[in-house]
């Protein structure tokens, strides 16, 4: 099912881990509506960079989020967050391009190998963060560092 011109519901709920571990990752109708908004933002990003946008993780059911070690209040649980890459760009370049584009997000997080794009049904916080994954857990710093 197409959520927008270039993005399908299937790619926004696909998970190799869910498939491998037979984790149910079917979205609720509310999640599908949120993913439709996400797809709209992905169209804006696609137009910005002029290249296809690859989704590495979109919606995560509670079981899948637990399996991947996602944050307990992760936007992925509501279908309001997506992790993306663009072939031919580093994640840092992609994060910087989105940051300077004027595209309104709740959270933009440079996560090293990918970029986390988060929306909200409330007032967007326009946070720009860099995540570092260490043995003691994930730490965040302000901006793209």
Which residue shows structure tokens 């993005």?
7
Q: Which is closer to Zn ion, CB of 9 or CB of 57? A: 57
Tokens of 95: 């994060």
The reply to whether 60 sits near Zn ion by the rule CB under 5 A is: no
CA-based nearest residue to 118, from 95, 141, 144, 90: 95
Print the binding letters for residues 69-88 with Zn ion: x by CB under 5 A, - otherwise.
--------------x-----
Task: Find the binding residues for Zn ion in span 101-140 (CB under 5 A).
Answer: 116
In the complex, the smallest distance separating the C-beta of residue 75 from Zn ion, rounded to whole angstroms, is 7
3-class DSSP assignment, residue 79: coil
Neighbours of 34 (CB within 10 A): 23
In the complex, the smallest distance separating the C-beta of residue 107 from Zn ion, rounded to whole angstroms, is 9
Question: Would you tell me which residues interact with Zn ion (CB under 5 A)?
Answer: 83, 116
């Amino acid at each position: 099912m197409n959520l927008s011109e270039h993005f399908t519901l299937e790619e926004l709920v696909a998970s190799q881990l869910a498939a491998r571990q037979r984790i149910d990752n079917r979205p609720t109708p509310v999640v599908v509506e949120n993913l439709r908004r996400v797809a709209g933002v992905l169209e804006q990003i696609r137009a910005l960079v002029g290249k296809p946008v690859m989704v590495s993780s979109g919606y995560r059911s509670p079981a899948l989020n637990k399996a991947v070690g996602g944050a307990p209040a992760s936007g992925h649980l509501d279908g309001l967050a997506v992790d993306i890459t663009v072939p031919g760009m580093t994640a840092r370049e992609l994060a910087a391009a989105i940051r300077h584009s004027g595209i309104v997000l709740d959270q933009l997080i440079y996560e090293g190998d990918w970029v986390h794009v988060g929306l909200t049904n409330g007032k967007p916080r326009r946070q720009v963060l860099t995540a570092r994954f260490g043995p003691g857990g994930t730490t965040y710093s302000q901006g793209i560092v």
